Amino acid sequence: MRHSVLCVIALILLGCQNSKVHVFMETLSESRQAQVEQSLNEHHIAYEIASSRTPSSYSGARLNKFPGNENRALYDTLRELVQHIGFQSLDIQDFNQDKHSFSNGHVGLYLIDESKVRTVPELMVAQHCEQSERPIVFNANYRWKTQDGQWRGDWRYYQPYLTLRYDSDDGYFEEQSFELREEIELTPFGEKPKLTFVAMGHRRKAMPILNCDFVAVIMD
């Protein structure tokens, strides 16, 4: 009986050891990062701290895995680990949504401190174009529109790149990509972060708003 139990434990440990965990946790504090590494080491889990950034659309604790890779022992251990450091649950996904896919035997663990994640501001102002000073609204459901509702479309943000797509009712569409530049702006309330999304392509789009840069000063 004791031999059987030891065999089961060995198989569980082998399952964990046969998978490598790529950890994305750049938004966590140093103390929480140390907690994660300590737990991974205590459970003898092979891991690597990823150098690339977490996709901006991710939130909470997430695991990307290869379809069919069902290492239940590892996933249960990682679920306990993320709950121990303050996350409510672990979202396990089988497929790639942001060019973050993994081959069999490799998984990606993403731990995001949402209080530190900066996404696209809800309201920005167009600059350096014929539509200058025109406000544009970015909704949480990845839709954008000019404040007057004249133009609208989809948006995606993969830091530091923002992409706007304009869709017309007749099926015509245009896209423009923008790169984030961060500065400090002196305001009556002190120094505040200024975000400017600068158009990367040519500024001869048929849709005038796509020829602009977009600016926001973060006041809070």
Instruction: List pLDDT tens digits, range 93-141.
Output: 886 555 667 888 899 999 988 766 557 899 999 999 988 889 999 998 8
**197 and 105 in a common domain:** no
> Does residue 80 sit in the same domain as residue 141?
no
The per-residue pLDDT for 11 is 36
Q: 62 with 97, same domain? A: yes
Last residue of a domain, one of 92, 114, 136: 114
Residue 75: which CATH number? Answer: 3.30.70.2390
114, 144, 172 - which closes a domain: 114
For the segment 63-104, what is each residue's pLDDT rounded down to a tens digit? Answer: 999 888 888 999 999 999 999 999 999 999 886 555 667 888
- What pLDDT, on a 0 to 100 scale, did the predictor assign at position 43? 93
Clarify whether residues 137 and 92 are in a common domain.
no
Tokens 């977490």 sit on residue? 54
Q: Are residues 73 and 175 in the same domain?
A: no
- Rounded to the nearest integer, the mean pLDDT of the chain is 84
For residues 158 and 137, what is the distance between their CA atoms, to the nearest angstrom?
Answer: 18
* pLDDT value for 99: 60
Q: Which residue has the higher pLDDT, 168 or 62?
A: 62
Instruction: Report pLDDT digits (tens) over 13-49.
Output: 444 456 899 999 988 889 999 999 999 999 999 999 9
- 62 & 34 share domain: yes
Domain count, the chain: 2
Same domain, 102 and 6: yes
pLDDT of residue 2: 43
10 pLDDT above the threshold of 80: no
β-bridge pairing 123-127 and 213-217:
antiparallel
Q: What are the structure tokens assigned to 158, written together?
A: 């993969």
Contact at 8 Å (CB) between 173 and 181?
Answer: no
Cα atoms in the Cβ-side hemisphere of radius 13 Å centred on 209: 26
User: Domain span at residue 96?
Assistant: 2-114
**HEC states along 24-75?**
ECCCCCHHHHHHHHHHHHHCCCEEEECCCCCCCCCCCEEEEECCCCCCHHHH
Place of tokens 């679920």: 79
Single out the residue of 143, 161, 162, 163 nearest to residue 153, CA to CA.
143
Based on the domain organization, do 167 and 210 belong to the same domain?
yes
Query: Taking the model in full, what pTM does it have?
Result: 0.52
213 in Cβ contact with 189 (< 8 Å): no
In this model, does residue 212 exceed pLDDT 90?
Answer: yes
Please tell me whether residues 179 and 149 are part of one structural domain: yes
Last residue of a domain, one of 87, 114, 141: 114
Residues 42 and 138 in one domain: no
Pairing outcome for strands 20-24 and 46-49: parallel
Residues 169 and 110 in one domain: no
pLDDT on residue 16: 44
Do 160 and 204 have their domain in common?
Answer: yes
